[in-house]
Amino acid sequence: AIDEQQFVLHFQPQLDAEDRVIGGEALLRWQHPTRGLVGPNDFIRVAEETGLIIPIGQWVLETVCRQIAAWSTRPELAQLSLALNVSARQFHNANFIFHVISALEDTGAAPQRLKLELTESLLLDDVEDVIAKMNMLKELDTGFSLDDFGTGYSSLSYLKCLPLDQLKIDRSFVRDVLTDANDASIARTVVVLAQNLGLSVIAEGVETEGQRDFLIGNGCQAFQGYLFSRPLPLADFEAYVSARSSQS
Ligand code: C2E
Ligand code: CA
Ligand code: CA
């Protein structure tokens, strides 16, 4: 698929509490010649197991950086942050830092616009190495969001050692936030935790006004989900942002 250039990125808008688009998340799709558009749940795991996640992840990184650079000359798009998902195996790879530096240098992308989404599974081994690498990337001025927060095994004491910028409330907690008291407390707790650690917080999988209102009422200021938009092909994402910025 890499050789045949069959991978594409879709972009899902991220909005603030005033409905302004503040960024997007790049999500990988495989444009398969006979199977059509294949989602990452059907191939990322195999890619991780085989090690192919390294070249695939590198392609995602370069494509995202190229996109950030391309948007930098377009006023309505230049301020957006663009998040990408980094697998634990990719992050642990000895060349990862080098790949990020090269992608930034080759494209001229502003590192402040690049946000790396990491998961708690990253912290399962060699935490010292993870912290050292994150600090190196932080020196470059890239951002970090902790994806699927609360679903993994991370020790809360690690949180204060990591140079994170954002916690991402997992979709599974957002889904039942209005019907399940436990999920509601977890979502509220993640917001408070982020506030106390000086981090921003974003909720993913927001599908209804009710969920959004609950989250806003509890201090969450950023949102992503089908309520606003599904992940979109590049041209549609750009049109979505243009339409929103001309409204305001
Ligand atoms: P994720 O990082 O948790 O990404 C969010 C997933 O939730 C996306 O699925 C997105 O389409 C979906 N989603 C967004 N809003 C809603 C909503 O309101 N309701 C529901 N039910 N779902 C929503 P997608 O695109 O199928 O990606 C699945 C997973 O594949 C991602 O989960 C991520 O872990 C992984 N992935 C995607 N792209 C990449 C990539 O470039 N590299 C790596 N390593 N993993 C990737
Ligand atoms: Ca993600
Ligand atoms: Ca997630």
Task: Give the DSSP per-residue string, 50-68.
Answer: HTTHHHHHHHHHHHHHHHH
Segment 100-114, tens digit of pLDDT: 999 999 999 999 999
**What is the per-residue pLDDT for 151?**
86
Which residues, judged by CB distance below 6 Å to any ligand atom, belong to the binding site of ligand 1?
Answer: 12, 27-28, 39-41, 44, 57, 60, 84-85, 87, 147-148, 171, 204-207, 225-226, 231
Segment 179-222, tens digit of pLDDT: 999 999 999 999 999 999 999 999 999 999 999 999 999 999 99
Task: Say how many Å lie between the CA of residue 168 and the centre of ligand 3.
Answer: 7
User: Which portions of the chain are predicted below pLDDT 50?
Assistant: none
Q: Which ligand has its closest atom nearest to the C-alpha of 145?
A: 2
**What is the per-residue pLDDT for 248?**
61
pTM of the model: 0.97
DSSP state of 223: E
Residue nearest to atom 43 of ligand 1 (CA): 85
- Per the structure block, which two tokens stand in for 133? 């690498």
| Other beta carbons less than 10 A from residue 138's beta carbon | 16
**What is the per-residue pLDDT for 222?**
98
The neighbouring-strand residues paired with 200 are 166
- Per the structure block, which two tokens stand in for 98? 């080098």
**What is the per-residue pLDDT for 209?**
98
